[in-house]
Structure 1
């Protein structure tokens, strides 16, 4: 039987660690060991984890956030495991569905070319209108992954199962200078270590997948400032990772995604400017049958793709305006990240 160990990096997660561990204990295929990585915790995370039956690894002098914590904890666990062992890395603000581990193990057993299995994340309840918009976004992201044959675009930190030998290959490649990011398992040079390790695993020739059954529920950002900091970290990190890896067979699709984001931002801006110019110069010209039909088709697509998020999501998608404003927010994040990258502005990690 393949040995599987769960690592849960946690920084001041006393409010959510019980639910996270309960999700692991409810797995139809439970991990052989569950290790909570208590990183610079000033609360009761470690004590609560121990009372729940988990092992606790306390980091020492870590200043490199999650990546630094994992680079201390992974060797302590992995050095005792054989190459065919598996390592589940899961955020402490996430709850896996009961079949997650079984689904991931099955995917790895079925295809030796798969180096890691990433989760498909959905947003937790709450957060008001902003939380609902994030849940709608995640619903469409899950649908996109399914349509693309369940290829994992990012080995999300919310829940990913790695082969032990693949993680060892990643560290060896860093030490040999084939990929950057230091000499540990996770890159210390990236704001988004999950995005970076995805590119590392793929660069070494392994596939990454996200099967439909590997879904989980993670937190949503309750306020715009928190969402801004989260998305700035994600977007800036993604751009920096592409800069560092350069244009390769692996990164080509990611460059395409970023180009499409940029084109979308430009198109939306031009549409807004054109609309204002027309209204100012010639005034309202009435409804166009052609453009009304196009709009209705667009509305239909937007509503159908969020059905899984519930009736409130469908109702919110109908008027378009709330989601349009949310898209503007995301495009502002992209534009700011791109400008900061070009100007070499220092991006600071902000806890969310």
Structure 2
């Protein structure tokens, strides 16, 4: 892994991959199609038993194979970055991208422009769900569309640097590694905390703790996988939610983590409010039906909000939102994930990593 030197800021793309021979070509093609192409594209092949290495090389990428890695994605990135950061200049950039995603053509160019601001530590993507997988896929795409809208309304201020694609500053990554074991959680010298369940959420907290901002511009979108089954979705979200809780526990309550703690509290209040609504509905129905115009208006406002927030996705998304009861059931599903995550965190139950590989055509 050799890199040239000079004043020109290099962009090196790292693509962690575990058995991703089916999805990898689309991810690499999206890198080659960038308006500002990366100077190097390196696939981090982690314990692969399929043709990931061959597919990567055939597509023109370099390959870094992990050695005895037991720490999943974070461990693979740490092994590659331990070599790479020694070869890069502080002003260079590192793009970390999932092997099952596809970047917008202007992603790198836009992210580089954002990183010209010295207060910005990293630029994350805004993810959109891939097509397919029936109702469970459609619900996830609506959810992602609302998340993207929320970020846009916050002028690109990112709560989490998505693991699907984030452009980092080398000097910031080096500072994170230097702070591990001292002012930041995690093993000393590593960029990513291998004890964290969600490396993207944790690295966001780390970068913000060093005083930098994290942003997600509207033009930095990326198409990512959606979970194909309810079981897969449950496992994915359980890891995400449990990881967020564990990260807050590791960092403690401070100026950086306060908004995240408030968010978790708000979600908990939402669970209580939802079930109070269900209970009130049952009690009201049992007492006999009485038409209340006020509650009709309130209900219509809720429906309108669901429709407006996904209207950019088209007719199918709007119809699904208008039905209301389907997305309401989806919200109950996510609340179940939250409750299980809290319970598992209290019990200190062992958390499990869940990986879904795309089928090879």
Question: Shared fold (TM-score greater than 0.5)?
Answer: yes
- Aligned match for 1:41, one of 23, 38, 48: 48
- 1:51 aligned partner: 58
- Aligned match for 1:217, one of 199, 206, 223: 223
- Aligned match for 1:338, one of 309, 318, 342: 342
Structure 2: state its 5+ residue gaps.
1-7, 357-361
- 1:149 aligned partner: 155
SS at match of 1:67: helix
Write the deviation string for residues 43-102 of structure 1: whole angstroms up to 9, x where unpaired. 001101001100000001001100011010112222100000000000000000100000
Which has the larger displacement, 148-157 or 90-99?
148-157
Q: Does structure 1 residue 11 correspond to structure 2 residue 34? A: no
SS at match of 1:318: helix
- The size of the alignment, in residue pairs, is 348
- 1:77 aligned partner: 84
Structure 1: state its 5+ residue gaps.
none
- Mapping 1:21-40, distance limit 5 Å: 21-40=28-47
- 1:266 aligned partner: 272
- 2:102 aligned partner: 95
- Mapping 1:176-325, distance limit 5 Å: 177-183=182-188, 184-280=190-286, 282-285=287-290, 287-325=291-329
- Mapping 1:169-180, distance limit 5 Å: 169-175=175-181, 177-180=182-185
Cα RMSD (Å): 0.9
Distance 1:272 1:339 in 2: 22
- Aligned match for 1:62, one of 69, 87, 92: 69
* TM-score using structure 2 length: 0.95
Deviation at 1:269, TM superposition (A): 1.1
Distance 2:136 2:19 in 1: 24
Runs of 4+ in structure 1 over 3 Å off: none
SS at match of 2:64: strand
* TM-score using structure 1 length: 0.97
